[in-house]
Amino acid sequence: MIKESISVFFPLYNDEATVEKLVNDATSLLKTTADDYEVILVNDGSIDNTGEICNRLANENAKINVIHHEKNKGYGAALKAGFTNATKELVFYTDGDGQYDVKELSKLLPYIHEADVVTGYKIKRNDPFYRRILGRIYHWTARFLFCLRVKDIDCDFRLLRRSILNNITLESDSGVICVEMMKKMQNAGHKIKEVPVHHYPRISGRSQFFRVKNIIKVMAGLFTQWWKLVILQKYLD
């Protein structure tokens, strides 16, 4: 049993096929690893049955809370909602599409006593070829532009101390929030530990990232954060 309390949250968008298993796996694990926990479901304007499933799960378990966005606000907005509503000492999140095994949170927990942030890195990315190529281009571009010292910038499988969120303010509403978050944590001097985790093929739905308008939005957001966190920061220093 970990001594600290923990909030686990999932950003969700049209994840009706995976959300119930994620929640069941999370609660099963947390019952054996934490004395005090909560599960937060951030339904980011889903247009399938995700919202209804979330409501049912919350009605069945008092430890589950649901946040509904009336319209899709973006991945970053969903993460910010999860962080804002988390009330426990530790916070863990992973995506709602089931490409990570939430039970592997048990691999991260032992390291939270020696680091402020414990983040996964994919042992092998199980995506179509074009997604793997675009993912590596994005990864190396972000690492180079932001001087990031992490192996896998877009592995959304992270455990952190909620207190460190008091030291940073997250702005991005898109997937750029992951680069922004890790850069700000790195700049603030927080210790980051990386742990290998498995990545599985998507079983339903489709990624929102690989749509043209979303790629343009992400690249614009990446440039904005680079200007703020790298270029302007040099002048402030």
pLDDT tens digits for range 46-85: 999 999 999 999 999 999 999 999 999 999 999 999 999 9
Reply yes or no on whether the pLDDT at 15 is more than 90: yes
Domain carrying residue 231: 6-236
* 38 — pLDDT class (breaks 50, 70, 90): very high
Q: How far is CA 63 from CA 28, 86, 104, 186, in A?
A: 12, 12, 20, 32
Reply yes or no on whether the pLDDT at 236 is more than 70: no
The answer as to whether 21 is a domain residue is: yes
Strand order of the sheet with strand 117-122? 64-69, 37-44, 6-12, 90-94, 157-161, 117-122, 192-197
pLDDT, residue 136, reads: 86
pLDDT, residue 231, reads: 85
Contact predicate 80/154, CB 8 Å? no
Reply yes or no on whether the pLDDT at 216 is more than 90: no
pLDDT, residue 101, reads: 97
Q: What SS3 class is residue 72? A: coil
**Taking Cα atoms as reference points, which of 88, 91, 89, 71 lies closest to residue 80?**
91
The answer as to whether 226 is a domain residue is: yes
* 234 — pLDDT class (breaks 50, 70, 90): confident
Reply yes or no on whether the pLDDT at 207 is more than 60: no
Q: What is the mean pLDDT of residues 11-30?
A: 97
Give 72: exposed, middle or buried? Use CB within 10 Å, 0-12, 13-18, 19+: middle
The answer as to whether 150 is a domain residue is: yes
The answer as to whether 26 is a domain residue is: yes
The answer as to whether 1 is a domain residue is: no
CA distance 165 to 167: 5
The answer as to whether 40 is a domain residue is: yes
Backbone phi, psi, residue 2, to 5°: -80, 150
**Taking Cα atoms as reference points, which of 9, 176, 194, 175 lies closest to residue 90?**
9
- Convert the pLDDT of each residue in 74-105 to its tens digit: 999 999 999 999 999 999 999 999 999 999 99
Q: What's the CA dihedral at 99, 146, 167, 214 to 10 degrees?
A: -50
The answer as to whether 98 is a domain residue is: yes
The answer as to whether 89 is a domain residue is: yes
Q: Is beta strand 37-44 parallel, antiparallel or unpaired with respect to 64-69? A: parallel
- Convert the pLDDT of each residue in 121-177 to its tens digit: 999 998 888 788 888 888 899 999 999 999 999 899 999 999 999 989 999 999 999
Domain count, the chain: 1
Measured at the CA of 16, the angle between CA 48 and CA 174, to 5 degrees, comes to: 75
Reply yes or no on whether the pLDDT at 117 is more than 90: yes
Helix (H) or strand (E) holding 65: strand 64-69
CATH number of the domain to which 231 belongs: 3.90.550.10
Contact predicate 106/2, CB 8 Å? no
Backbone phi, psi, residue 229, to 5°: -90, -15
